[in-house]
Structure formats: C-alpha cells, structure tokens
Structure 1
Amino acid sequence: MRQDSALHDGTAGVSEGAPDGERPTVVAEDAARQSAVAEEQAFLDLATARRDRVADHLRTELSAVVLDPVEQARQRMLRQQYEELRRATDGLVFGRLDGRDGTVRHIGRIGLRDDDMDSEPLLLDWRAAAARPFYTATAVDPQGQARRRHIRTTGPTVVGVDDEPLDGALSAQLVGEGALLAALDERRTGRMSTAIATLQREQDDIIRAEATGPLIVQGGPGTGKTVVALHRVAYLLFAHRTMAEQAVLVLGPSPRFLRYIAQVLPALGETAVVSATCDTLLPGVRVGRDESRQLAEIKGRALWQTALESYVTSLLPRPRELKLRWEGEFYAIPAALVAQALASAVQGRPYHRARAVFAEHLHHLLADAVVEQRETLMAEMEEGFEDILARVDRDLTREQHVGRAPTGSDVDGLLSEEEVEDLRSRIAASASIARFVESWWPTFDAETLLGTLLTDHARLARFAPLLSPAEITAVAAEPTAWASSDIALLDALADLLGTDEAPQPQGEFVADRARRQRGWVYGHVVIDEAQELSEMQWQMVVRRCPSRSITAVGDIDQAEAAHRHRSWAEAVQAVFGDRWTAAELTICYRTPREVMALTEPVLKRAGSHNAPPRAVRSTGITPWELRATAAELAGTAAQAVHELQQRWRGGTVGVIAPAERVGVLLAVLSDVPVLTATQAKGLEWDATLLVDPQGIAAEPRGWNGLYVALTRCTQELGQVILTPAR
C-alpha cells in the first residue's frame, strides 16, 4: 500500500489525549492541508470564471440566425462545445500533476485555455495524451512526475486533496487510492456517475486502446466494465473527431440499465451517441411477447444468416424471355439479355436495390428493342414493302395524335440521340412498365416475409436444413407477435432486402439521424454485458459497424442468456473468427472482500474455470442470513429492507429474487427495485437483499445468475433463505 501523504481529505485535528510532542506535527499537517485546499480553490475559481466567459461568448455567437450551410455546420460544432462547457460543473477540476521539471498541470473534465491561446492549457482535458500520467504514473514508473494530487470538490467548492508522491516512495497498490476508496464508499443514487478522477491503470489502458478492430474485455463483477466502456466512448470521440460525424452506438442489456447510465456521456460532454438495446435497435419494431429459452436459443444461432440469405435468393426472378407492350406494340427481350441484366443487377446488392438496377437495365433494353424494330421496319420499307409502309404510317399518325411534332427521324426513320434518350425517359416513367416489373420482380416487406417463413414447415426445412424436425415444429408453432430473438432475424432480412429509407433532415444532431435509420453506419460500437448476445445479435452489431471498430465488455461467467457458448471464443467465433483482441479487468473495486469471498464456489457450480476478480476494499460488514418459510418470505423481506434503508439512509437498497417470487415481493415492497438476477445485471446498490438464493440457482443457468445477484452491493449483503414449513 502507498505511504500516507501529509495531505489528505480527512479531518486532521488535535486530540485532547495526544502527547504534547505530537501536537505540533498534527497542527502542521492540518495547516498544510488547509493551505493546499485554498490553493486549489483559487485555481478552481479561475477555471470556473474562464469556462463561464467562453460559454457566454459561444452563447452570443449561437444567438445569430444563419442560413449559409457552412455557417450552420459551424454552429452545430459551436453548440456542441457550448453544451460541453455548460455540463462541466461538478468536477470541473479534479487532478493535478507536478512534474519533476517544475511544471504544474491541472486535469479536468474539459480542456480550457486562458486568453493567450498560444500558451499552455489552463486546464488539461482528461482525454489528452499529456493527462495520461495522472492515471498511469507510479513511484516505480513516475513518467516524469514528482507528485499526483486528487482534488475533491462539491459544486464550486474544493473539499479536500489527496497527494501521492511519485519520487521513489513505496508504490501504491491503486492509483489515487484515497480518492478511489472515498468515491466507492459514497452512497449510491440510482444513477451512474463519471469516474474520470479515479480511473485505474488497467482501465485506462483499455480506454485508450486503438480502435482498429474488435476488442473483447473480460471483467468480473465490480471491475468497472461499464465505466471503462463509457469513458472509452468519450475518449474515442475526443481522439478521433471524424468518429463524431458517424456517431457511436452504445448497446446495453436493458432499458433500466440505459436509464442508469444515461447521464454519464452527456456529463462527459458527448452528444454524438445513440443508446439502445438489441430489442430497440430496429426502428419501428418492438417486442410484443416473451418466448421460451428453447426458442430463443434456436433463433439466436448463426445458421439463420445463411438461411435468410438463401430465402431471399429464392425470391429472385429466373431469367426468361420477357414480352413488353409499348405504345400498342409488343417487344421481346431475349432470355440471354435478361439473364445478363439480372446477373449485372444482383452482384451482391440487396434485393430491392438489385431490383431497381435491373429496372434501369430493362428500360434500356426495351428502348433498344423499339429503336431496332423501327429501324428494321424503315429498312424494309425502303425495299418497297407496302404493308410495312402502311404500318409506319400508322405509327406516325399515332405519334402525331399524342402531340409529338415531326422531326428529322419522322423523315428518315432514324432516331437522334436526344430522341432515344427521350424514349428511355418515357419508358422509365411509364406506369404500365412499372406494373410489369412489379409483377415479375415484386417488392417485399420484411415483417410479412419473415412471418411467412417462420410459420411454414416446408420453407423452414428447405432454407434451414440444420434445424431438426422438432425444432422446426417448435418455431412454426410460435405466435405471430415478435419476440426478442425475432428482432435480429428481422434486421438480417431487412438488410438483405435493402428497403429504401427516407432521407433525414441534415440540420439535426447526428445521433438523431442515426437513431431513426436502420442502415446507419456507426464510427464505433460499444457493447455492455456482451456475453448475453446471441450469434444473430452479433451480426446486428457488425452490420452497423462494417469496419468492426467495436469494444465489447462483459463477464462470460455472468452469462444467463439461452445461447450455448461458455467462452468468448465460442461467443464471437461466428462473426469474428479469431480476428479479435482480448483484454481483461482483474480488480474488483465495487464489491467488498467479505462478499466476494462467497463467489468462488458459486463460480465452480456455474462451470467456470475463471477465478473471481481480486477485491481491494473491505467494509467490515459480514454478509448475513435470515430464514423464513414460503408463507413468511414476503414479511421477512419487507422487515429486512426497512432495516437496510435505515442503515443506508441517503443511499440505495435493491432486492433480487427468483422470477417466480418477484410478484409477491412487489406487493409488499413498493419503494425499492425488486428484480430478477437478469434484470439486475449491470446495476449496483449500497445494500442488496437476496431473497431465496436457492431458487435463483435452480433457474436455467441459475448459478451464473446467483453470481450476478451476490455481487450487486457496494457495502452490505443480506440473504433470506427459504426453509420448509414448520
């Protein structure tokens, strides 16, 4: 552990019983602390005043009405800067680095310069490369730094400092240990807060890792997976400005989880972010029913991607001779030309895009046929065929009847380039030709098409031959409303069909445009609780980020979804193969040692070969148990929750129970969240009451669920054990 600094944010004072020889030391330490706090208060006041001046200047510029598109783009950039400044209130300044060369750099949520724009920054953005030693320097590797100072603030007031010497003293186990443990001991509010002041080295390494391909981060409970994921978004948007033009997608496991993290990225100044779950990722489509684990597992398999590709391919028309009517005459397009146009149109394009390209080819082929037949007729006429001449006369009469004035072609029978182009335009605009194309190559709706496939035994057997007859029967027997696993299938089918999307207004924030477009390509995707994704859901992710600039964080040992994979290699094999990078978070900051001591046997029962993460803090509170019969369970839980609320007043208490007991508990617990282990994933409370842990373990993948449930508290864990009726 690090040596205690003379400066900290405790309440140093003179004890009445302290020996006289110790009093001068205590007084000196207190005076030094007060001097340091005053020094940092002066700097915070300076930085706050500068932030306010810059914000006022931006607000004035934004008040002007501009019509020029270039100026509008500039105003969008200025508005983002203004919002970043406006949100930078709490924790504007949180750190300081004192270099061995005498330089002093303050670290904050945003970067600020003073009036001299050519000088060193007044306040260094935490994402800047120069700020990295604040998270990574140690006494063993000081990186040119003599001291690191953590500055604690409440609103506009500095309330404490915590100094770490980096001059060769005993290396700290944790970076900013005092500040970190103080933050972990704070009451939970039901909302995640930023952690930029207390990030640890292994977290910072992942946050700043290159975004060149899939990065899969394994981290057990309390290791800060979500903190890392969200701060990585903020870092990437800062370091790669072009990424903000495409937006970043953040995928979470549930709407409750997204509400929990909702304010973190805005607090870090980031707005080019779309948050969603896999169930809400497809615009205009919502889950309408629950489904069995068996069906969820079947429809999450990678085989559906190939099945749907084959299904859509089967909908393509087959080459044959086409006969089209144009202005009273029939024209034949030979099968060989149709096959050539069809092959040229498809070439890996989505179904509807290929259809549009083929229609363009067909318009040209028909125009060529009309021109060719006309020229042939005129050539035959010149040889004296009276019957042909009569037909040409009828053609001329009809063209004059529709209002076309005679041109040079009406005299010699040859169409000019302009007339041929006009002919093609009229063919392309023809409603009758459009009806013909629709009848031969129809358009399809993804929802209707998927419904047809999933309810048809014969089609399922043809296009998904890897399914057993029993599995086909189970799929075909499902209700018509969409379940969670159907969303990924719908997304795959919509992508294969390539349904056109209406253009979006350009004046909006990029996140608003991205949120409404299924085919939007994101600059980066961050996935939390990634172990829960099925193979088809992974395909959804890759479609939205073809560059595969993806960060996925999760704990394979907390997987509760219906899929079969039990390792990251199995989870991502279908979409990434072996082309992905692994990283690991090994330290548990949230869950106390007393609770983590309970998890190793649970992990073994879950079939894991991993060791639980190493807890670095202790609360001194031993997990406790109560026993109750089924009839007593609700009352016992209500009394236990009441006592926990009294002990953790100002904080939060959560209740986790088997799915079958949630309803009974909700009837007596209206002021605390009562969740299943799956619903509690990613959340945390000061105290957790775990009701009927044996019931959770008995659920599908229940030992994994119990591992989740045990590790949600930051301070205290209580359990209500079910006993037989007396």
Structure 2
Amino acid sequence: MGRKSALNNVGAGVGRVMPGSEAPTSHADDDVARRSAVAEEQEFLDLATARRDRLADHLQAELSADALDALERARLRLLRQQYEELRRAQEGLVFGRLDGRDGTVRHVGRVGLRNDDEGGEPLLLDWRAPAARPFYTATAVDPQGQARRRHIRTTGSAVVGVDDEPLDGTVTGELVGEGALLAALDQRRTGRMSTAISTLQREQDDIIRAEATGPLIVQGGPGTGKTVVALHRVAYLLFAHPKIADQAVLVLGPSPRFLQYIAQVLPALGETAVVSATCDTLLPGIRVGREESRLLAEIKGRALWQPALENYVTSLLPRPRELRLRWEGEFYVIAAATVAQALASVRGRPYHRARQSFAEQLHHVLAEAVVEQREALMEEMEEGFEDILARVDRSMQYDRHPGGGSAGSDVDGLLSEEEIEDLRRRIAANATIARFVEAWWPTLDAETLLRDLLTDCTLLARFAPQLSTEEITAVSAEPAPWASSDIPLLDALADLLGEVEAPQPQGEFVADHARRQRGWVYGHVVVDEAQELSEMQWQMVLRRCPSRSITAVGDIDQAEAAHRHTSWAEAVRAAFGERWTAAELTICYRTPREVMDLTAPVLRQAGSHNTPPRAVRSSGVAPWTLTTTPAELAGTAGQAVRQLRERWHGGTVGVIAPAGRIAELLPLLGDVPVLTATQSKGLEWDATLLIDPQGIAAEPRGWNGLYVALTRCTQELGQLVVT
C-alpha cells in the first residue's frame, strides 16, 4: 500500500481551477489550500531529494573501487549508468502524484527511488513504471482506481505550484493535466527541446508504451508532439527492455541542427545507450561533399538499386576453375569441381566473409593434397623396398626411448593428426598462398566500386535496366564528391562486401562503440521526420535493425524530399511490405489555433486528403501580414524581427524564407536563425517571421514546405509578402 491520501484535507480545486469544476470556496480559502498543498509537496520533495542524494553517494563510492575482472567491469558499467540517471534527475525529480480511491498516495518522478524500507512501496515511482501509467491515462470517465491526479511544478529544489484534477466524474476535459500542460506550452522557447514527462497526453503515452515487436509508423501533424513521443519512447523501451540497452538505440534525425535541438532530452532522462545521427552521417569517415538536383536524388533513392548492387557484387565473385598452388617447391592442382563446391558453400555471404570462408576451405584442401601426395610417394617407395623398410623399422624400434614414442611420422610415412593440423596452420599463415588468394579473389573498396558503376553507362544499363537512357546519362555525368543520395548506395555496397568489425574494448560505453561501427546492429531505431526518407534510406535503417524494432514518426503532408510517395504505405512498402503498424497523433499542442486555421487550404494545394490536427490552445495573437517590395525587403524584415524579439524577450524568434533568399537575408538579421522550410523541420520558436510565402510555395513540393513553415511558432506568426 502507498501512503495515505491527504485528499480530504487539501481539497480538489487547488491550483488552476479546471473547466466545469469551479469551487464554491472563497479566494482566501483557495489561497490557504494552495499554500498547504505546496507545503505538503515541498516536504515530500525534500524527502525524495535526500533519498536520491544518499543513493547517488552510495553508487559513487562503489564506482571508486578498482574493477579487476570482466564481471566486475560489467557491474560497474551498470552502476555508472544508475549513478548518471540519479545525478541528472535534479530538475523535476518529482512532478506528479496519484491519490487512489483506496486512500493510497503514489508520487511520480523522473526516476524511481526505493524507500528506506526495502520491502515496502517505492518512495517515488519511475514515470515509465506500469504503476505510473494512470498518471497519463486516467480520466473522469475511466479513473482507473484514482480519485485525483496532481501535477507538481518545481524550480530546482522548490515546489512553486500544483494543479489538481479530480477524477471522480466532476471534470470531463479531454486533456490530462490541462493546467500544467498549458503552462508548459506558454513558456518561452530556449532553442533546446526539454522533457515532457510531466505533461504527456493519453494518445502520446499509448504510443510511447506500445510493443516494440515490429515497425511502428506514427503519423502526426505539426505540434502533435511526434518528437517528444519518439524520444520518450526510447527512454521507456530502455527502461522496460534492458536488453535493448546492450545493443544501444539509434535516433535518426533530419539534420544536425535538429539533433542539436533534441540533444538534451535523452541525457536529461538518464539515457546514455543512444546514438544520434542523420542518414548522411551513418557511415564513419564518409561525408557529403556536394548538393545535387532533385531529379538525381529521386533516381538514386529508388528501391531498384538494392538488387542492382547485389547483382553487381555477385558479378565480381571469382568463377570456378582449376587452381594450381605451389607449396614447398611442389605444385598441387585443385580440381575445378572442388573449387565449384567450395564456392557454392559460401554463396550468399558478404563478399569478403565469403572469401575468408573459401580461403579456410582452400587451406584444408591443399593440406589434404599435400598429405595424399606424400602418402602416394611412400607407397611407391614401399613397392620396391619392403625388406629394407622392415629392417629400418626394427632398428628404429630398438633406438626408441623406453618411456616415450616417436616424435615424428610413423614409419609408414603417415602424418599424425597433430602434424596435419600443424601443416594446415602453416599453409594458412603462408604469405605466398595469401597473395595467390588475394590475386584470384581481390579485396574490394565500396567507394571505388560505386564510382566505377555510376560513371559507366554500360554497367548501369546492365545492372539497373529499369533506368531509362536519359536517367543513365544523368547519373553517369555526376562529379566525384559524394552527394546525400550516394550514402545509402555506399552503405549497401559496404554491407554486401562485409567488413570485419573490431571487438568491443572493455569498459567502453556501448553507444561509443556502436557510433564507430558501420555494421552495428541496434536494439531499436527511431526515425524522426520519417516521411523524408527515400526507399534506399529505409534500407539503411533496416540493415541496422534486422529485428524491425523500429519507431518512425513524421507527417506525410510535410514531405519535401525528391521521392514520389504521398502515403506511408508507398513510403515503407519496399522495406517493410505490409508488415507494419500505424498510429496517429491528432491533437496539436504547440501551434496556436489562430495559426492552424490557416493550414487547411495550404494542405489542399499540397494534394493532401488529411485533416489538420486539432489545436487545443489559443495564443490570443492573430497572424499578421505585411507587404513589401524587393528593394524594401531587407529593411522591413529587419524591423519586423526587432519588434518580434522585443515582444518575445527571453524567448526565440525564427525566420523562414525561400532557398533563393537565404543568402541575402543571413547577414542582415544578426543571430536570428534564417532557414529554408526544409531546414526548419522539427524546430519551433515563440514567433516566426515567414518571408515570401509565395516563393516557398513555388519551390518543388512548395505547398508542403509552406505547411511546415506556417506551423513552427508557439505564439505569433508574421508574414512578409514580396510584390
């Protein structure tokens, strides 16, 4: 049982009064009740903080001990992870409370804390624990055994407010913790995403806790919390399935700026077994060196390249033929049929691993040939010298040491098993044999192979016959530096070639090791802005998680990439077929209602048949539009930005413009971010200045880009129309 509830002493209307539950008490009574509730929660926060500090000090003391063996090192890694989780849980340690109808009280926080009484209830429930789920899912219609939910607002070690929700049927609002949620949404933006564990909503929590047995594709419009859901799902899965942490989690974002924006979320939740990257940075040592046309990006993003590259590498395998090997001055012939059998046994493996397996078989076959030839020579000798060999045999028996046996071969010339095994080892280590194998089955380089293929029209026509003559010409005319669409092709080739991975150094965090290994297999992969991935980029994802434990979040209506798909079924069919699960986020929390009202006609222009998410809040600031000329644009934009920064002092302002205007605006607007619609994906500011919306709409997939640009603000949207 939890602690006994003080519900009757505090009252259900503390903090923000919920719609439909106006308390009949006076303002003075409300103030007394509020102060009493804050004091009560401050007392608990002090207790939980002291317990957290004691546990952290204990773990730190254990970590200072020397670790000698592998088992101890593994234990220390676990202790270090627990210590880091406690150390980071300083801000927002306690943020919620559930008062059960049975009189129990359970507090919810960023981490779980054991009570001093090891056999009793936890002092603090981890937000990811099953017992904490009613904090996110209980409603007045379905209270799940709860009488009240309390949101606790803290700053540092001080409780600064509480928001109570009675769950006894007197409140029927659709939002969980509406007061705390709206307070969080109205806060100034800092340019970094923060955790949202205290204000997650039911549809978000359902996705966070969904099973991870296959691909989960989450459709969500602007401001629905897609990224929040994806990152908190990582934290939940690492908590609920510790084995995933042994393999790490890969988080793929659309841009380095986006990854910087979300960088603090998972560490703040205590998670370290996470690798963050973009599709362009997944290959260690490979960097994108040039931009390319949308036409080429679309061509090289098609699924046809996967079988094309497989056939290309297969064509480079050696063909069966008779092999003539030299060993200790003698030549040995390996029959073509034997070579064909060995090649068939390694078929289907990556190129270099197949060669290694073939070489091992070749060493055995050569050793057998050497043994057989020696035995044959001995048989020839024995036919004419039986008497001599008999006398030699008798003399060797007389000369043997009484306590031991012969150290060499038997007198009949047969090699012992130990001698045959030694022969195999010497053959495997022989440089001449290694050079022969390398010449017949050479080491290949993915970059060289891809350049050879992409610059040779004949090879392209042979291995990618689906391409038209014009498309082949366009691809083969590309310059040398790699473009973004080349990275998945390089990755596919590297996988088909099969590098040998290095062993994991002892004591290294799994994420640090995974980050350096192209072929690392992750326990789970999260893809944000997933609608932008090409079919070949989805193959990159699948290679890194063959278990298909994948969460992909995005908005198909915000797709701006060069690919042609306009539905999730089209986007993931090449990678997943029909074996994936769909989920949807329908409520917009970030973008105010005044701005979301502008999006429906833009979506129609984009060809969408979806309904925009429903905004649940109003900023009270109507979107505004100014008209300017090209000559006056710089001055008008500069003045508008200054006014927005003054109005939203302490928050953030962002500028979005067509790609062709970025260069002229960057030096004029100081340190305010000036981005294209594509670059702004996943980001948010208190206020957005949208410059030349017609210019954005005129870009490729421009209406989708305009939809993105309109929905980046949390408070105010201004537009400069250039005439």
Distance 1:78 1:248 in 2: 20
Which residue of structure 2 aligns with residue 480 of structure 1? 480
Distance 2:171 2:165 in 1: 10
Query: Which letter maps to 1:675?
Result: L
Distance 1:25 1:630 in 2: 59
Distance 1:255 1:46 in 2: 40
Q: Secondary structure at the match of 1:112?
A: coil
Aligned 8 A contact 2:697 2:703 in 1: yes
Aligned 8 A contact 2:12 2:148 in 1: no
Indicate yes or no: 2:15 matched with 1:8: yes
Return closer, same or farther for 1:421/1:297 CA change in 2, 3 Å cut-off. same
Aligned 8 A contact 2:248 2:522 in 1: yes
Q: In the TM superposition, what whole-angstrom CA distance separates every residue of 1:553-584 from its partner, at most 9, and x where no partner exists?
A: 00000000000100000000001000000000
Distance 2:29 2:320 in 1: 93
Query: Which letter maps to 2:13?
Result: A
Which residue of structure 1 aligns with residue 466 of structure 2? 466
Which residue of structure 2 aligns with residue 47 of structure 1? 48
1:345, distance to aligned residue in structure 2 (A): 2.0
Distance 1:632 1:699 in 2: 23
Which residue of structure 2 aligns with residue 281 of structure 1? 282
Distance 1:171 1:535 in 2: 44
Q: In the TM superposition, what whole-angstrom CA distance separates every residue of 1:298-342 from its partner, at most 9, and x where no partner exists?
A: 111100000000011001100011111111111110110000011
Distance 1:243 1:264 in 2: 19
Q: Secondary structure at the match of 2:346?
A: helix
Q: In the TM superposition, what whole-angstrom CA distance separates every residue of 1:419-460 from its partner, at most 9, and x where no partner exists?
A: 211111111111000010011111101111111111111111
Query: Which letter maps to 1:628?
Result: T
Q: Secondary structure at the match of 1:378?
A: helix
Which residue of structure 2 aligns with residue 28 of structure 1? 29
Aligned 8 A contact 1:9 1:159 in 2: no
1:601, distance to aligned residue in structure 2 (A): 0.5
Indicate yes or no: 2:605 matched with 1:602: no
Which residue of structure 2 aligns with residue 398 of structure 1? none
Unaligned runs of at least 5 residues, structure 2: 1-10, 18-22, 390-405
Alignment of 1:128-143 (within 5 A): 128-143=129-144
Alignment of 1:405-416 (within 5 A): 408-409=408-409, 411-416=411-416
Q: Secondary structure at the match of 1:679?
A: coil
Which residue of structure 1 aligns with residue 157 of structure 2? 156
Query: Which letter maps to 2:645?
Result: Q
Query: Which letter maps to 1:616?
Result: V
Which residue of structure 2 aligns with residue 294 of structure 1? 295
Query: Which letter maps to 1:61?
Result: E
Return closer, same or farther for 1:24/1:196 CA change in 2, 3 Å cut-off. closer
Which residue of structure 2 aligns with residue 202 of structure 1? 203
Distance 2:322 2:376 in 1: 21
Distance 1:425 1:121 in 2: 60
Aligned 8 A contact 2:14 2:163 in 1: yes
Return closer, same or farther for 1:551/1:24 CA change in 2, 3 Å cut-off. closer
1:407, distance to aligned residue in structure 2 (A): 6.0
1:611, distance to aligned residue in structure 2 (A): 0.7
Which residue of structure 2 aligns with residue 374 of structure 1? 374
Q: Secondary structure at the match of 1:149?
A: strand
Alignment of 1:413-452 (within 5 A): 413-452=413-452
Q: In the TM superposition, what whole-angstrom CA distance separates every residue of 1:641-663 from its partner, at most 9, and x where no partner exists?
A: 00000000000000000000011
Which residue of structure 2 aligns with residue 245 of structure 1? 246
Q: Secondary structure at the match of 1:409?
A: coil
Distance 1:128 1:529 in 2: 28
1:267, distance to aligned residue in structure 2 (A): 0.5
Alignment of 1:34-73 (within 5 A): 34-73=35-74
> Once the two structures are aligned, what percentage of the paired residues are identical?
81
Q: Secondary structure at the match of 1:536?
A: helix
1:155, distance to aligned residue in structure 2 (A): 0.9
1:380, distance to aligned residue in structure 2 (A): 2.1
Distance 2:415 2:619 in 1: 91
Q: Secondary structure at the match of 2:492?
A: helix
Q: In the TM superposition, what whole-angstrom CA distance separates every residue of 1:473-525 from its partner, at most 9, and x where no partner exists?
A: 11111111111111110110000000112223121111001101111111100
TM-score, length basis structure 2: 0.94
Which residue of structure 1 aligns with residue 220 of structure 2? 219
1:62, distance to aligned residue in structure 2 (A): 1.0
Which residue of structure 1 aligns with residue 649 of structure 2? 649
Which residue of structure 1 aligns with residue 3 of structure 2? none
Distance 1:531 1:681 in 2: 11
Distance 2:496 2:580 in 1: 26
Distance 1:61 1:224 in 2: 39
Distance 1:501 1:75 in 2: 25
Distance 2:124 2:416 in 1: 71
Alignment of 1:294-693 (within 5 A): 294-346=295-347, 348-384=348-384, 408-409=408-409, 411-693=411-693
Query: Which letter maps to 1:228?
Result: V
Unaligned runs of at least 5 residues, structure 1: 11-21, 390-405
Aligned 8 A contact 1:9 1:160 in 2: no
Which residue of structure 1 aligns with residue 113 of structure 2? 112
Which residue of structure 2 aligns with residue 400 of structure 1? none
Aligned 8 A contact 1:341 1:358 in 2: yes
Aligned 8 A contact 1:162 1:176 in 2: yes
1:369, distance to aligned residue in structure 2 (A): 1.1
Query: Which letter maps to 1:168?
Result: G
Query: Which letter maps to 2:580?
Result: W
Distance 2:424 2:65 in 1: 48
Q: Secondary structure at the match of 1:256?
A: helix
1:416, distance to aligned residue in structure 2 (A): 1.7
Distance 2:685 2:175 in 1: 23
TM-score, length basis structure 1: 0.94
Aligned 8 A contact 2:189 2:652 in 1: yes
1:415, distance to aligned residue in structure 2 (A): 1.6
Aligned 8 A contact 1:624 1:717 in 2: yes
Return closer, same or farther for 1:290/1:385 CA change in 2, 3 Å cut-off. farther
Q: Secondary structure at the match of 2:39?
A: helix
1:54, distance to aligned residue in structure 2 (A): 0.8
Worse-superposed segment, 499-508 or 537-546: 499-508
Aligned 8 A contact 1:324 1:330 in 2: yes
Aligned 8 A contact 2:13 2:165 in 1: no
Worse-superposed segment, 671-680 or 284-293: 284-293
Query: Which letter maps to 2:179?
Result: G
Distance 2:408 2:154 in 1: 86
Query: Which letter maps to 1:570?
Result: E
Aligned 8 A contact 1:247 1:274 in 2: yes
Query: Which letter maps to 1:176?
Result: G
Structure 1 residue runs of 4 or more that deviate by more than 4 Å after TM superposition: none
Query: Which letter maps to 2:299?
Result: I
Distance 2:656 2:540 in 1: 31
1:408, distance to aligned residue in structure 2 (A): 4.8
Q: Secondary structure at the match of 1:95?
A: strand
Which residue of structure 2 aligns with residue 14 of structure 1? none
Q: Secondary structure at the match of 1:140?
A: coil
Which residue of structure 2 aligns with residue 125 of structure 1? 126
Query: Which letter maps to 1:673?
Result: P
